[in-house]
Amino acid sequence: MIDVFQYPGIQFPKEFLMGAATAGMQIEGNNRSYHDDPDFAPAFAYGGIPYQMAGKADNSYEKFEEDIALLKAMNLDVYRMSLEWARIEPEKGCIDPQAVEHYKKVLSRLQEEGIKVCLTLHHVSHPVWFHKQDAFKTLDNLPDWENYIHFASETYQAYVDYWLVINEMNLAFEYSIEERINMLQYHARGYHIIKQYSNKPVSSTLSYSMKEPFRGRYDYPDKVMADYVDYIENEFFIHAIRTGEIVMPFHDAVVMPELKDTCDFWALNTYIRQFINSRDENFRFDVYTATHFKALDKPFFTEEINPDIMIEMLMRFRDKPIMITENGIAVADDRLRIVYIAAMLQALKQGMDLGAEVIGYLHWSLIDNWEWGSYHPIFGLASVDKESYTRTLKTSGKFYGAIAEAKELNQEIIREYLKEPPSIINK
């Protein structure tokens, strides 16, 4: 049982970074990515919900000053945002100068406000023309990729404190094994190009979830399947970065010395644990009813608060500095987000005490956003009115801001923003 009212006080180092994360495709609006192209958009989003185009999203392309104001209101040190390649190069070889200048304006404003920038160069979305060329399904597109990375690195290097080349290339439901093998090579090229222009740390994010045998570790089929899924989604990436060797089932190994150590820090996105059921074709979607709760009207995938995921992950990545580049929960009841943040930060600090060098924590997301085909999942520290696009800081945002200001989580802060344990009973 999680009882945040019994948590001991914890303190983070003064230099520990606390921030929030977004992605341009999910908040800017009117993007030119293939995700908003009717020829490529899928019929359904997560959970079988009919796919909804992003449209104006949160209109952050015009309202970025208000997003920065939210960061300031929460006393945050760092903001993770992405460049939208589809805006910068909407047609192959044609750079849009207005988009280029727009991002300079956003980045310079963050710099003026003393907010560090963690910049993602590819956050799932890319131009339609690149998608028509089969994107990462082939290495033939490396020259186009290299041109983009050269341009972005040279143009924006003065504003960036942390670089992220590619977001979550390891996801099996997003990319095939062949694409993931290729994307590691795209990552490596991106890393070395950025290093030509910047001496700031560079990485790519890993979407990390624990893979647990559904029937427990003594059920051999579930355990073997869980280990297998863990390898093809987590360990292949870790092994490749540590050794320069890409090893995947049913493929010859790719030995790429220039890939080794191309993450200056581990950039880790984590939300959930996954139970692996070897007897089910849809093997990753079972839950334990004892810990599962109703978070939204329509199920998403974050209907559990399990801080074990944080400690287990941190212990696996102790060989490099770590930045938590995404962590959050989609819930309608904002009180549950407060519990989630408290639980994850409590676990994160214990992981640091156990030897993990964690340099920062970025909450997903700054604002309620378009979630790859749906506005149903609610992740934000602030809400957004879909008519006026007015931002309103939630109680969870004020709670997180108080922690960021003090670099401390204690009972005084918890009890100021959470008056009673929220009910998590299915209704």
At 49, is the pLDDT very low, low, confident or very high (cuts 50, 70, 90)? Answer: confident
The CATH code of the domain at 4-417 is: 3.20.20.80
Write down the pLDDT at residue 424.
58
Q: Is 90 exceeded by the pLDDT of residue 43?
A: no
Q: Is 70 exceeded by the pLDDT of residue 425?
A: no
Average pLDDT, the chain: 96
Q: How buried is 7 (Cβ within 10 angstroms: 0-12 exposed, 13-18 middle, 19+ buried)? A: middle
Sign of CA dihedral 89, 156, 84, 209: positive
DSSP 26-73: HHS-S--BGGG-TTT--SB-GGGPBP---TTTT-HHHHHHHHHHHHHH
Q: What percent of the chain has pLDDT over 70?
A: 99
Interval 378-424: pLDDT, tens:
999 999 999 999 999 999 999 999 999 999 999 999 999 999 988 75
Least confident of 188-192, 257-261, 300-304: 300-304
CB-CB contact of 222 with 278 (8 Å) = yes
Interval 221-245: pLDDT, tens:
999 999 999 999 999 999 999 999 9
Write down the pLDDT at residue 426.
45
CB-CB contact of 386 with 349 (8 Å) = no
Instruction: Please give the model's pTM, rounded to 2 decimal places.
Output: 0.97
Q: Is 50 exceeded by the pLDDT of residue 427?
A: no
Q: How many CA atoms lie within 13 A of 311 on its CB side?
A: 11
Tokens in use for 134?
A: 């089969």
The residue with greater pLDDT, 326 or 36, is 326
Interval 325-362: pLDDT, tens:
999 999 999 999 999 999 999 999 999 999 999 999 99
Interval 132-178: pLDDT, tens:
999 999 999 999 999 999 999 999 999 999 999 999 999 988 899 99
User: What does the pLDDT average to over 12-26?
Assistant: 98
Write down the pLDDT at residue 103.
98
